[in-house]
Structure 1
Amino acid sequence: MNKPLSAGLCLLLLCPLGAMADGPFDGTWKIDMSKVQMPKKPDVLVLKDGMYACKTCVPPVSIKADGQDHPITGHPYLDSIAIEVVDAHTVKETDKKGGKVVATTTTTVAPDGKAAHFEFSDSSNTNGAPVTGNGELKQVAAGPAGSHAISGSWVTATIANMSDNGTELTYKEEGGVLDMTTPTGQSYAAKLDGTEAPYKGDPGINSVTVKQAGKLSMVETDKRGGKVVGVLTSTVSADGKHMSMIFDDKLRNRTMSFVAVKQ
């Protein structure tokens, strides 16, 4: 599992939601991982002739697969990547920022090459303990002849055993202002009229707007450097116990959906 996918996955699960004056979003919510619908658009990886490439990363990545740190530019969550080829079916990725390890992912491809299991630890956008978990990939297209088993086009089939700090969110609305906090250190205080506000604790997002889109719905727009990087539409159920969300990743042109349960 490449870093942008894992980080991107963490980013999607930690992304905040809005609330209305009546307070239907107030409280702590926990994402139900069994109901997460991952993006259908695949990630394209190639590991061949000692070189590793993530063709769908934004921006794309192309480095030597020699286990050494190689500088990466344009990624807010990391500034170097090391790709270690463990064996013919296993690859370990280590991401760093400022010389500090911020994420590791170990991916093992099944003997038939059609599926893969990954385990990750990611603190690239957390101010506390890393978010951890594991999951399964499904290959939708094979890599080039003579390449490592990890090569090809992959979609994430499932994510499991996600740590609580990566699946919980707390909201409080008062006086037309929504306060959001997460266990990993993200926060904002935004008016519910769409006024732009600072987003704190995430190197990939620096401003946010939250606007009512219906009686029980809100649309949140996240920006980095003035550019929209993600749009999250959330709708609370009539009984106030569940929240359905659709996240549109504008950078990577991917969409995912999930459900949160009020605690």
Structure 2
Amino acid sequence: MKKSLCIGLLVLLCPVYAMAQSAFDGTWKIDTNKVQMSKKPDVIVLQNGMYECKTCVPAIKVKADGTDQKVTGHPYYDTMVVQVVDDHTVKEIEKKGGKVVSTSTTTVSPDGATAQFEFTDSSNTSSDPVTGKGGMKQVAKGPAGAHAISGSWVTSDIAGFSDNGLLFTYKEDGGKLGMSTPTGQSYQAKTDGTEAPYKGDPGISTVKVKQVGKNSLVETDMRNGKIIAVVKSTLSADGKSMDMVYEDKLQGRTMSYVAVKQ
């Protein structure tokens, strides 16, 4: 259930944008207390031995029998294991090329109204995996007789993220903006909107960075020529923080957050 969120969170917390002005140069850290998650729910059904993520892109439908199940169309993983631990707990393992790239465990409360999740994710990192946890609220129930994880869920809070998923650094030099993260993502892009290669992330192939006014920019992330996300950022008046809005074009979700200069 949480893979789309984990990936969604990895993109969110490892920002892929910067600006060709000295005020933006330096190392920044996401403040997880100021993250506003999308209100669009994840829709999950676990019933009759089958697991479905109806809002994943592409949608997922696999056997929930604890064995590797092939999935297609997902750049971060190609097999998925869904293990039913008990009536309220489900564990997921994603692999790529036979190597584990992420794990997540979701536990639903006894009344079914809330859930807690924990994850580790190295699907787009060349170093230690990003780890974190959070909570969810159910906004619609699943089918009668289905596992407790079934239903429509929105993320209510996130916490405990490792620093390698929160930090990013950039530097403008010679009309180009350089971005790098501890997890291995990087690019060198002109701030005039020219398309440039994006390195270190199997889900992003190129990027465009466009300066808008003195203290704002728009970044467009692309995969094989298709826009997958747009990030808008605005520097605060004192230059100590940035307000950012992340639009996931594939899943139709919008998140906002604040990065603080270190």
TM-score with structure 1 setting the length: 0.99
Q: Which amino acid is 2:76 matched to? A: Y
Amino acid corresponding to residue 93 of structure 2 in structure 1: T
**Structure 2: which amino acid aligns with 1:5?**
L
Matching residue of 2:156: 157
Shift of 1:12: 1.8
Report the Cα offset of residue 2 of structure 1.
2.2
Following the alignment from structure 1 to structure 2, what is the Cα–Cα distance between the partners of residues 222 and 151? 32
Task: Give aligned-pair identity as a percent.
Answer: 66
Within 5 A, what are the aligned runs for 1:1-263?
1-20=1-20, 22-263=21-262
Matched to 1:204, the amino acid is G
Distance 2:53 2:91 in 1: 14
SS in 2 for 1:74: coil
User: Which runs of at least 4 in structure 1 moved beyond 3 Å after TM superposition?
Assistant: none
SS at match of 2:24: coil
- Deviation for aligned residue 1:18: 2.0
CA contact (8 A) 1:18 1:219 kept: no
Structure 1: gaps spanning 5 or more residues = none
Secondary structure class of the residue paired with 1:24: helix
Q: Which amino acid aligns with 1:106?
A: T
Counterparts of 1:2 and 1:134, CA distance in 2? 11
Deviations 1:78-129 (A, max 9, x none): 0000000000000000000000000000000000100000000000011110
For residues 29 and 15 of structure 1, the distance between their equivalents in structure 2, rounded to whole angstroms, comes to 10
For the aligned residues, what is the CA RMSD? 0.7
Q: Distance in 2 between matches of 1:54 and 1:5?
A: 11
Q: For the residues of structure 1 that align with 2:62 and 2:15, how far apart are their CA atoms?
A: 30
TM-score of the two chains, using structure 2 as the length reference: 0.99
* TM-aligned CA deviation for residue 232 of structure 1: 0.2
SS at match of 1:10: helix
SS state of the match for residue 56, structure 1? coil
Whichever residue aligns with residue 237 of structure 1, its letter is S
2:31 is matched by which residue type in structure 1?
Answer: D
Q: Which amino acid is 1:90 matched to?
A: T
Amino acid of the structure 1 residue aligned with 2:37: M
The number of residues matched between the two structures is: 262
One-letter amino acid of the structure 2 residue matched with residue 186 of structure 1: Q
For 1:54, the aligned partner's letter is C
Distance 1:99 1:7 in 2: 19
How far does residue 11 in structure 1 lie from its aligned partner after superposition? 1.5
